[in-house]
Structure 1
Amino acid sequence: MKNHEIDYYIHGNDMQFVEIELDPQETVIAEAGSLMMMEEEISMETIFGDGSSNGVSGLMGKLVGAGKRLITGESLFMTAFMNNGHDKKTVSFASPYPGSIVPLDLDELGGRIVCQKDAFLCAAKGVSVGVDFQRKLGTGFFGGEGFIMQKLEGDGMAFVHAGGTLHKKELQPGQKLRVDTGCLVAMTKEIDYNIEFVKGVKTALFGGEGLFFATLKGPGTVWVQSLPFSRLASRVFSAAPSKGGSKGEGSILNGAFDLFGGD
């Protein structure tokens, strides 16, 4: 076991947070801004990358880890939380928007998980947070998350966040699943991932589901979310008033009344 062994408990239903129990000298790494609360004698330290050397020691190892995060569009830095006391202490991390926190035991999942670059929340120290370059150009240009996705490697616990309701699906060898590109949260390393164009001109232009979807081919495990943050943000933006005031709901007459409302 190279990664720190951590115990955890997930609280809540729609707005979850994960409480992680650290033994003395155990450490957990997390994205900046995800901390909810922590007990005394837990120290915080800003580190380059994910804190794992990935077989490269010293300054070069830190630069490699930080550089991988920069490629994914994340910050160069992460935060490490260490228990400096003599008893067990807890630290908690909250999800950034309504949804579910997914615990992933990398040791049981073959040592590697591929996920959306914004899905990672926290992990035991020693877990490598890298990049996964998609081999097919179509995946890179039209995959919704770009050519690069995050790759979590190691034998410890990692936690990712999914929007809305989370669904875990086991794919048999040769079984295919087509998913909206934004709804894909994570998948095991055996999954063959590609992008397909929506067939039919009318469907592509007027179907309202976008021009592309992800095709996942088993064997392997896939985690899917019902409400990607991009979809939530799009609906909120479209419902917001364009010039101040409030946007009426429930009747087409609201638009007529707005003419006399002075807004």
Structure 2
Amino acid sequence: MQSKIIGTTLPVLEIRLDPGEAVVGVPDQLSWMSGDVTLTTAMGGAGGGGVWGLVSRAVSGGGLFTTRFAAGHASGLVAFAAHLPGAILEVAVPPGRAMLAHRHGFVCGTPEVEITTAAQTALGGLFGGEGFVLQRIGGGGTAWVELGGEVVTYTLEPGQELLVHPGHVGMFEDSVGFEITTIKGVRNALFGGDGLFLARLSGPGKVWLQTLTTAGLAHAVAPYLPGKQG
């Protein structure tokens, strides 16, 4: 298996599969494919080449179905384009460890990778009533994760803390502590109300932050959208 990330602002993940190799993802992630590639879609489990954790609708944003892209007797190619300007990262997941990513971060992974809901916090005002959800990427293998905008990384020492707007949390190692906290006395101009919700990340471990948030993007383009008629 050979992977290549093409482009900068709107990158594309291209994976060349040798005969018998496969990757698993949600159906609407595929952009194009060629060669001897077979698609098998199932609810929850991918089957065949490893255990696939159930991807809930809240986590995946694309339903309960997963698709296995497998090369047959000959090699094949599959490609996954980014949904927003940003970056696609290749992440090695050691057995027994995990990465936590934002709700739409997972693009695809090798069949050993398991995706489950890691955390869900009721912050409907920030996330359109859907709350704040993290994906847990575990099981071992390799995963590819999409982050929005530019990517800023920090390696936190034990006890070191980082306060981050929840929308800027892209991904972090499972050794990093996570909780939602409120900073009182700060007027939230974007969402209204007294108090600012922030994610508290505490070391040790590595943190990937994303500069483009979905809520911030929606707020920026909202004035230019046509108003409702009637």
Q: TM-score by structure 2 length?
A: 0.85
The answer for the alignment partner of 1:81 in structure 2 is 69
Structure 2 residue 107 is the aligned partner of structure 1 residue 112? no
- 1:31 maps to a residue whose letter is V
Q: TM-score by structure 1 length?
A: 0.75
The answer for the alignment partner of 2:197 in structure 1 is 212
Which sections of structure 2, spanning at least 5 residues, go unmatched?
A: none
1:151-230 matched pairs, under 5 angstroms: 151-200=136-185, 203-206=186-189, 211-230=196-215
Structure 2 residue 115 is the aligned partner of structure 1 residue 126? no
Q: In proportion to residue count, which structure has more helix?
A: 1
Superposed CA deviations along residues 181-240 of structure 1, whole A, max 9, x for unmatched, are: 10101111111111221232xx22448797211110000011110001221122111332
- 1:238 maps to a residue whose letter is P
Return the alpha-carbon distance in structure 2 between the equivalents of residues 31 and 47 of structure 1.
Answer: 10
1:14-163 matched pairs, under 5 angstroms: 14-51=9-46, 65-66=53-54, 68-70=55-57, 72=59, 74-86=62-74, 88-107=75-94, 111-133=97-119, 140-142=121-123, 146=131, 148-163=133-148
- Partner-residue secondary structure (3-state), 2:184: coil
Superposed CA deviations along residues 48-103 of structure 1, whole A, max 9, x for unmatched, are: 225269x9xxxxx88xx44x5245354110111100023x3221111111111011
Return the alpha-carbon distance in structure 2 between the equivalents of residues 226 and 50 of structure 1.
Answer: 33
- Partner-residue secondary structure (3-state), 1:82: strand
- 1:41 maps to a residue whose letter is D
Return the alpha-carbon distance in structure 2 between the equivalents of residues 39 and 45 of structure 1.
Answer: 16
Q: 1:193 to 1:240 in 2, by over 3 A?
A: same
Identical aligned residues as a percent: 31
- Partner-residue secondary structure (3-state), 1:111: coil
Q: 1:164 to 1:240 in 2, by over 3 A?
A: same
The answer for the alignment partner of 2:227 in structure 1 is 242
The answer for the alignment partner of 1:252 in structure 2 is none
Return the alpha-carbon distance in structure 2 between the equivalents of residues 172 and 77 of structure 1.
Answer: 38
Corresponding residue pairs, total: 221
- 1:218 maps to a residue whose letter is G
Return the alpha-carbon distance in structure 1 between the equivalents of residues 190 and 219 of structure 2.
Answer: 17
Q: 1:207 to 1:45 in 2, by over 3 A?
A: closer
Q: 1:238 to 1:227 in 2, by over 3 A?
A: same
Return the alpha-carbon distance in structure 2 between the equivalents of residues 141 and 77 of structure 1.
Answer: 25
Return the alpha-carbon distance in structure 2 between the equivalents of residues 32 and 196 of structure 1.
Answer: 35
Q: In proportion to residue count, which structure has more strand?
A: 2
- Partner-residue secondary structure (3-state), 1:8: strand
Contact preservation (8 Å) 2:28, 2:62:
no
Q: 1:152 to 1:142 in 2, by over 3 A?
A: same
Contact preservation (8 Å) 1:142, 1:195:
no
Deviates more, 1:34-43 or 1:209-218: 209-218
- Partner-residue secondary structure (3-state), 1:185: strand
- Higher Cα Rg, which structure: 1
Deviates more, 1:146-155 or 1:216-225: 146-155
Contact preservation (8 Å) 2:46, 2:67:
no
